[in-house]
Amino acid sequence: MFVAARDSFARGYGLAEPSVVEPPHDLDRPEYGLVLALHMAALVAVDAHVHGARLPEDTVGLSSYLLDRERDHWTRLYENGISGLDFTTPPGTMHRVVFTAAPTGALPTRAGTAVLRRIELSDTHRTLADHRVCYPSLNARTVLEPPYPDRFAEDLLAIALPGHALTDQPAAAWAEDTLDLVTGVADDEPPPPHTARTMTFLVAAAARDRWPHVAEHVEDLLREDPGLAIAGGGDCLAGLAEIDVSLEVLEAVETRLPDHRRIDLDVGIAELGKRLARERLRRTDDSGKRASEHRLLGQRLARAGWHEESLVVMERSVDLYRALVARAPGGHAPDLAGCLTLLGREHMKLGHWDEGLRCSEEAVRLYRELPEEERQAHAFDLARALGQVADLVVVDRLWAEALTAWEEAVRLLRGLPDQQLSTTSAELARTLTGQAGVHEAPGPVGGRDHGLGRGRGDLRRPGREGARRPRTRARDRAEQPGECARPSATCPRGTPAVRRGGKDDSEPRGDQPRSVLRGSRGGPLQPVDGPAQHR
């Protein structure tokens, strides 16, 4: 890969024989593992050969070399401008503009002009024209084309910000204020469109093996506005889990996280959730807090599709809640029931039908054993657990038992106050379509009397594990192109519900075969409450 990049750059320099360009020493080091790092190494190797310069020894040296070359270029253009070239921007000002373009990326002309005004530069049209001479726009309608490759743009940001130890590359006095102005908006304004790029670049640069001092600047920005992390997107959230940012700031970001599935953020939230869980579990011996922490992490892992990891974490939460209930019966019974429902769902996602059914039935029993007032307060949770039991007994075509569970769930959901409609409507729709699927199932509606909460006895038939779930006519219709209802390959319900509102953590990420859910992350699972091991 280095050779291909070197040869390409050599052609651009007019070098007839690229093979005379030697690669940097120790090109097999981990820091050269990224393609962009190899591209930078190839560019510097060719440029240093052409100009008879000394080849840098590491990736920091590569960035420093390229930045020096850029400064020389800005200076020559400015000095030629004094001699008559149509270029009037001093190199110091150009450095600030390039620093600004790195986190914003190319912008429409009007937006780029507004950014330069925000950082308090005068004669913006002249400055943008000069910047385009240095960095031609790939689109005629945009300005502020950033330097490439992206890794160099990240390094340029890091070198300008104070806190690094490079004696030959002093930090820029204007860098912190410029960064604040680029990211800052009024309280009633949404983040600018470039926020995702800005935060992603800063977090990437702040990695412990690159420019750890940038983490301090990221922390300052997030103290001022934790929402920047969410605007930064999933990569930004995942990166935050790996840099030196305080727990206080991470928890401030956590308060802005959505409490429902967001496919663009779920993986980042799961990575950040692992960091938060490690930090908080290290700081408490309270079993209730530890159980709650595991449950929250398990939910986040599940939303990201990491069901095997979620299963391990949820099992730990159930164990902790079970011990609490044993010590003080009734005190944490609803918590245990809720966690068992979630654990049952993870077993179901992985095709562990028996285990999922056992967990779900125990959850139903625990909810039913609550005192009347408390049971009414958890009517929605009981309905969801009943629906999950129905999902699982349908696998064995026990239509009557499934129908009984769904009917009870419908009664519970319809009895909830209208104020909970946003929460209950989606669950009610799923339950009703489950009933419809049973009524349309081939063959008679047969089975045993509903025995939820009692011994399973003969319900589980040999060969249940991995059994194919039934496909009803309703489900077949849902799988036709253009249908609003999306079938769930990981949820053995007769037919999925049309989602018209509410929030639901059980909605699968897509119509995936069951087998692909195994090993979604790969590698051994690490206990969450062990010593924190950050990558």
Q: What is the DSSP string of 65-89?
A: HHHHHHHHHHHHHHHHHHTT-S---
- In this prediction, residues 300-316 reach a mean pLDDT of 98
Q: Is the pLDDT of residue 496 over 50?
A: no
pLDDT classification of 24: cutoffs 50, 70, 90: confident
pLDDT classification of 463: cutoffs 50, 70, 90: very low
Q: State the Cα–Cα distance between residues 494 and 511, nearest whole angstrom.
A: 15
- In this prediction, residues 413-417 reach a mean pLDDT of 90
pLDDT digit string, tens, across residues 139-150: 999 999 999 989
Q: Is the pLDDT of residue 307 over 50?
A: yes
Q: State the Cα–Cα distance between residues 517 and 348, nearest whole angstrom.
A: 11
3-state helix, strand, coil in the chain (%, to 5): 60, 0, 40
Q: Are 217 and 247 in contact (CB under 8 A)?
A: no
Q: What angle is formed at CA 188 by the lines to CA 186 and CA 190, rounded to 5 degrees?
A: 80
pLDDT classification of 440: cutoffs 50, 70, 90: low
Q: State the Cα–Cα distance between residues 15 and 13, nearest whole angstrom.
A: 5
Q: Are 146 and 197 in contact (CB under 8 A)?
A: no
Asked which of 76-85, 109-118, 373-382 is least confident by mean pLDDT, the reply is 76-85
Q: State the Cα–Cα distance between residues 116 and 119, nearest whole angstrom.
A: 5
Residues 6+ apart with CB under 8 A from 418: none
Q: State the Cα–Cα distance between residues 91 and 113, nearest whole angstrom.
A: 19
Q: Is the pLDDT of residue 329 over 50?
A: yes
- pTM for this structure? 0.78
Residues 6+ apart with CB under 8 A from 117: 124
The Cβ of residue 37 has, within 10 Å, a number of other Cβ atoms equal to 21
Question: Which tokens hold the place of 498?
Answer: 């049309």
Say if residue 149 is preceded by a cis peptide, omega within 30 of 0.
yes
As beta bridge partners, residue 107 has 143
Q: Distances from the Cα of 170 to the Cαs of 56, 110, 173, in angstroms?
A: 18, 32, 9
Q: Is the pLDDT of residue 37 over 80?
A: yes
The Cβ of residue 484 has, within 10 Å, a number of other Cβ atoms equal to 10
Question: Which tokens hold the place of 477?
Answer: 């219709």
As beta bridge partners, residue 142 has 108
Tell which wins on pLDDT, 25 or 493.
Answer: 25
Residues 6+ apart with CB under 8 A from 353: 347, 392, 395, 464, 465, 467, 492
Size (the chain), residues: 535
pLDDT classification of 271: cutoffs 50, 70, 90: very high
Q: State the Cα–Cα distance between residues 470 and 403, nearest whole angstrom.
A: 14
Per-range mean pLDDT, top range of 236-240, 450-454, 488-492: 236-240
Question: Which tokens hold the place of 159?
Answer: 């070198």
Q: State the Cα–Cα distance between residues 75 and 193, nearest whole angstrom.
A: 32
**Encoded amino acid at 173, one letter:** A
Q: State the Cα–Cα distance between residues 398 and 130, nearest whole angstrom.
A: 74
**Encoded amino acid at 430, one letter:** R
Instruction: Dump the DSSP string for 83-126.
Output: TT-S----HHHHHHHHHHHHHH-SEEHHHHHHHHHHTT-S-HHH
The Cβ of residue 122 has, within 10 Å, a number of other Cβ atoms equal to 9
Q: State the Cα–Cα distance between residues 379 and 367, nearest whole angstrom.
A: 8
Say if residue 108 is preceded by a cis peptide, omega within 30 of 0.
no
